[in-house]
């Protein structure tokens, strides 16, 4: 089996070389050498001439280019994050939280929903890899981890009272995540503002020409 597999790989490499630009270019130059041979220009050294022309053609031919990996388009990544956000909201709808934490969570999810709004907002976010990563991390990791840790800790607190209320940590975590989302929104807004200002300067400069 190993010999058969190795032979198959060798045969594949030989076939790939026969179809490669290097072999085709070398063959074309070698054919030119045969033409010189038939016309008598190569003289008695025609094998050397043909081989030399083939080698020169193979060396001058561009190397065969391998296609780069096909990574997902940024818009496809945005669609995946938006789909995960929908599943997250379904999970959060079944979780009971105290009023302060619930309000903070609602404010955070509203901000995330705005950042994941379809249309031109999605185009802006999809064009910002760091921003899309931050939203993806919040949706897929930070928010579910914060809420799940609260639910687990709350159960232990009920059977072992006297510890620090778990909702304090949850409220702080949600506040930090909301601040992070706000900073991202501010950064994207500033980028759009700079784009607008740049267009104004362009029109002003053009009007002076």
Whether residue 97 is found in the same domain as residue 151: yes
- Domain range enclosing 199: 74-207
* C-alpha to C-alpha distance for 28 and 45, rounded to whole angstroms: 19
Whether residue 84 is found in the same domain as residue 168: yes
Query: What are the angstrom distances between the C-alpha of 46 and each of 29, 55, 57, 124, 176?
Result: 13, 14, 16, 65, 80
Whether residue 158 is found in the same domain as residue 202: yes
What pLDDT, on the 0 to 100 scale, is given for residue 5? 53
Instruction: Judge whether 40 lies within some domain.
Output: yes
What pLDDT, on the 0 to 100 scale, is given for residue 126? 86
What pLDDT, on the 0 to 100 scale, is given for residue 159? 72
Sign of the C-alpha dihedral computed for residues 99, 103, 109 and 113 taken in this order: positive
User: For the segment 70-79, what is each residue's pLDDT rounded down to a tens digit?
Assistant: 666 767 888 9
Whether residue 142 is found in the same domain as residue 198: yes
Instruction: Judge whether 66 lies within some domain.
Output: no
Instruction: Judge whether 69 lies within some domain.
Output: no
Neighbouring C-beta atoms of residue 168, cutoff 10 Å:
12
CB 181 within 8 A of CB 115: yes
What pLDDT, on the 0 to 100 scale, is given for residue 1? 45
Whether residue 39 is found in the same domain as residue 98: no
Instruction: Judge whether 68 lies within some domain.
Output: no
Instruction: Judge whether 95 lies within some domain.
Output: yes
- Long-range own/partner contacts, residues 97-103 (CB < 8 A, 24 or more apart): 97/147, 97/150, 97/167, 97/170, 98/167, 100/167, 100/171, 101/150, 101/167, 101/170, 101/171, 101/174
Whether residue 78 is found in the same domain as residue 45: no
Residue ranges of the chain with pLDDT lower than 50?
1-3, 18
Instruction: Judge whether 65 lies within some domain.
Output: no
User: For the segment 94-125, what is each residue's pLDDT rounded down to a tens digit?
Assistant: 999 999 999 999 999 999 999 999 888 888 88
Reported as type and span, the H/E element at residue 112 is helix 99-115
* C-alpha to C-alpha distance for 183 and 131, rounded to whole angstroms: 10
Whether residue 42 is found in the same domain as residue 82: no
CB 22 within 8 A of CB 58: yes
Whether residue 135 is found in the same domain as residue 196: yes
Whether residue 96 is found in the same domain as residue 171: yes
CA geometry: angle 84, 90, 92, nearest 5 deg: 100
What pLDDT, on the 0 to 100 scale, is given for residue 175? 96
pTM: predicted TM-score of the whole model, two decimal places: 0.64
Whether residue 34 is found in the same domain as residue 95: no
Whether residue 182 is found in the same domain as residue 109: yes
Domain boundary among 60, 85, 107: 60
What is the total count of domains within the chain?
A: 2
Query: What are the angstrom distances between the C-alpha of 20 and each of 24, 25, 55, 166?
Result: 6, 9, 14, 66
Whether residue 17 is found in the same domain as residue 102: no
């Amino acid at each position: 089996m190993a010999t058969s597999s190795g032979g198959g790989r060798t045969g594949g490499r030989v076939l790939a070389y026969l179809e490669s630009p290097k072999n085709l270019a070398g063959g074309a130059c070698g054919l030119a050498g045969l033409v010189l041979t038939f016309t008598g220009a190569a003289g008695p050294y025609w094998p050397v001439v043909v081989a030399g022309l083939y080698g020169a053609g193979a060396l001058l031919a561009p190397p065969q280019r391998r296609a780069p990996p096909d990574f997902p388009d940024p818009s496809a990544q945005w669609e995946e994050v938006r789909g995960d956000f929908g599943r997250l909201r379904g999970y959060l709808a079944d979780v009971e939280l105290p009023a302060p934490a619930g309000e903070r969570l609602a404010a955070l999810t509203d901000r995330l929903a705005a950042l994941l709004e379809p249309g031109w907002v999605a185009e802006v976010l999809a064009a910002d890899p760091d921003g899309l990563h931050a939203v993806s991390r919040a949706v897929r990791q930070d928010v579910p981890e914060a809420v799940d840790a609260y639910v687990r800790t709350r159960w232990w607190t009920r059977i072992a009272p006297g510890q620090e209320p778990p909702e304090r940590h949850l409220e702080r975590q949600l506040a930090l995540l909301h601040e992070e989302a706000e900073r991202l929104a501010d950064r994207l807004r500033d980028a759009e503002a700079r784009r607008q200002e740049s267009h104004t300067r362009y029109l002003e400069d053009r009007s002076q020409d």
